[in-house]
Chains A and B, each alone.
Chain A
């Protein structure tokens, strides 16, 4: 029998594409149950009634895919609660009909490009998470330009960076350069490195500040912790 913990573990792999954090730790999972006959029922919630529907759609669709892949789940129901576009998103995802079909004339493109843009941002932000401690420990920018990904000390941040690079098809093995352009995958040279690191830090600051605002808004809206939420 499949239990809710397995489904919740699957939801750990679903990220807010904009914040690059799991929907579980963000507190977006309101409930998660599995019936004895294998029907998984997940309710998601967001910080505001008007959170951007494109990102909301991606999260609901990704949750549907992740939960459907759990062994023993025969049917998946993902319900986005309390959102102005709940009806269109929930029915569109359930019918697996894609974003454009779900919103008709209101949308004129699928969301793949948007998702890629934000994974590129995640690569930049992740670069700062891996490099900032190295700089603090006395490494110079020039030294960083000569390092490979495998030269950085093992850490969850390094593996997160590796995973995002792999998702974009960028070099991600240990021998690949630590610092790469998130668009082309080319190594960042010494001359371009100071600006690259500045941009990486700024991108991380933007994402983390935004995450802080979203968490604050969510708490005002829903006083209770979500399933798997960071406390």
Chain B
């Protein structure tokens, strides 16, 4: 929790990692990719405040103690949601698997939510792995990388029949939060890895699932917003938005936030630190202090403490059925966190606002 100026914030970090990218975990012959990947992540960290930058060896593999301190002790986080990233073609034991995250979670009951993943191209074996992970770790969400390579495949889409088979099973198992990576990426070649049209289809066909678009489709934020405003069950995952822009490019951060608040709405936006890329402490504290820097932004929706409470924790808590103590909850007139009706906002107001 975080308290400032008499306001109490319940913080859910809905997108964070516990990875091992140390050289000992690099697959022989794939060292350039394994090193290139973690070096690229490390460069993202440079967009945060200088005092929060880590040396590369710590960044490649951080300790359990370091994570617990950075995230919970110093970082104000009440509940953190692990999002796995496998990358087993480059990292022998995987980069950040469900098992690695789950093992840490079991040592710290109540602190973590362990999400899993599924791989639609993997057939029945992948289905069994998904079902086993859900049973073993109690996953209520998955993180999906549609642009990930697998053998001859250079990616997949949520529209694929194979993906629908997994989404149907996810719905049956109560895995209701589908986090999709649509943001800065590396693959594939000629396909547009940022294309969010597949989310549009799946969100329509699976109204009981929530689709959280991580990194809000950056750099194609406009495609994401046009889609999200029409789909009540699509949410904006703010990982990279706060970490990558709030400190390094405050003016653009204000504009991106203004646009998201306008098109998607405060009930549909969720904070994620993307730890270990960025520590949550400066992000939480900075966001609570944040407001538009000048009158230039007067055309965008206002932000207040209720807005920030929803984004920092209450929206994600609702999606994940995380119990929020009464002292952190909002009065009824501030609206219901994660309310799907927020998507109607734009259609109602756009005609009158320009």
Question: Chain A: residues with CB nearer than 8 A to chain B?
Answer: 18, 47-54, 84, 99-100, 103, 105-111, 114, 117, 121, 124, 135, 141, 193-195, 197-199, 201-203, 205-210, 212-213, 216-217, 219-221
Contacts and interface: CB of A to CB of B under 8 A. Distances in A.
Main secondary structure of the interface of B (DSSP, over half): helix
B219 A18 contact: yes
Contacts of A194: 350-354
A99 B189 CA distance: 9
Contact of B221 (A99, A107, A114, A202): A202
B249 A52 contact: no
B152 A52 contact: no
A124 B39 CA distance: 34
A213 to B, nearest CB: 5
Contact of B190 (A48, A111, A141): A111
A8 B39 CA distance: 30
A29 B2 CA distance: 45
30 contacts: A49-B39, A51-B186, A52-B185, A52-B186, A84-B33, A103-B189, A106-B154, A106-B189, A107-B190, A197-B354, A198-B262, A199-B222, A205-B252, A206-B219, A206-B221, A206-B222, A206-B256, A206-B259, A207-B219, A209-B218, A209-B219, A209-B245, A212-B245, A213-B47, A213-B218, A213-B249, A216-B46, A216-B47, A216-B244, A219-B46
Contacts of B218: 206, 209-210, 213
Nearest to B35: A49
B190 A49 contact: no
B263 interface: yes
Given A49-B40, A106-B154, A221-B43, A203 B189 contact: no
A107 B190 CA distance: 6
A48 B43 contact: yes
A114 B46 contact: no
B290 interface: no
Contacts of A203: 222
Contacts of B262: 198
B192 interface: yes
Main secondary structure of the interface of A (DSSP, over half): helix
Contacts of A199: 222, 226
B182 to A, nearest CB: 13
A195 B226 CA distance: 11
Contacts of B39: 49
B248 interface: yes
Most interface-central of B154, B184, B188, B248 (chain A CB within 10 A): B184
Contact of A84 (B47, B186, B192, B193): B186
Contacts of B248: 212-213, 216
Interface residues of B, number: 43
Interface of B: 32-33, 36-37, 39-40, 43-44, 46-47, 152, 154, 184-186, 188-190, 192-193, 218-222, 225-226, 244-245, 248-249, 252-253, 255-256, 259, 262-263, 350-354
A114 B192 contact: yes
B247 to A, nearest CB: 10
A227 to B, nearest CB: 21
A42 to B, nearest CB: 23
Top 7 nearest A-B pairs (CB, nearest first) are: A210-B219, A50-B186, A220-B46, A49-B36, A206-B221, A212-B249, A194-B354
A207 B158 CA distance: 25
Nearest to B299: A201
B301 to A, nearest CB: 13
A54 B189 contact: yes
A121 B194 CA distance: 14
Nearest to B248: A216
Contacts of B245: 209, 212-213
A135 B225 CA distance: 23
Contacts of A18: 219
Contacts of B33: 84
Given A49-B39, A194-B350, A194-B351, A54 B222 contact: no
B43 A220 contact: yes
A202 B259 contact: yes
Contacts of B189: 53-54, 99, 103, 106-107
Nearest to A200: B222
Contacts of B40: 48-50
Contacts of B36: 49-50, 84
A141 B354 contact: yes
